Amino acid sequence: MKHVNLRIQGKVQGVGFRMAAKEQADDLGIKGFVRNDADGSVYMEAEGIEEAILEFVEWCHEGPPAAGVENVEVEGDAWVGFESFDKVRRFG
């Protein structure tokens, strides 16, 4: 099992990134959350089996069709034990 924190930068707000990330996470059995941050980036925490996390991180480099991902930062972190994957409205 693996936990990662992701920051996605580029044209990632106002393009359905959070909804698409939730759909992708749900399909992969990943738990955590996604939110828009004030700096224009998207921040996520994601937990699941390592193979699913790797696939999710790969998806984040593309995002939904309208997105223009420029950078994805990934950091490992301690397991939290999320029960679902949620869209948080914005800014922490």
3-class secondary structure per residue, 17-41:
HHHHHHHHHHHHCCEEEEEECCCCC
CATH class of the domain comprising 2-81: alpha beta
List the catalytic residue out of 18, 35, 89, 90: 18
Instruction: Name the average pLDDT for the chain.
Output: 95
Distance CA 92, CA 71 (A): 20
Residue 86 to residue 58: CA distance in whole angstroms = 19
Confidence of residue 88 (pLDDT cuts 50, 70, 90): confident
Mean pLDDT of 56-83: 97
Can 36 be counted among the known catalytic residues? yes
Q: pTM for the full model?
A: 0.93
Give me the catalytic one of 5, 36, 71, 90. 36
pLDDT at 90: 66
Whether the predicted pLDDT of 25 surpasses 70: yes
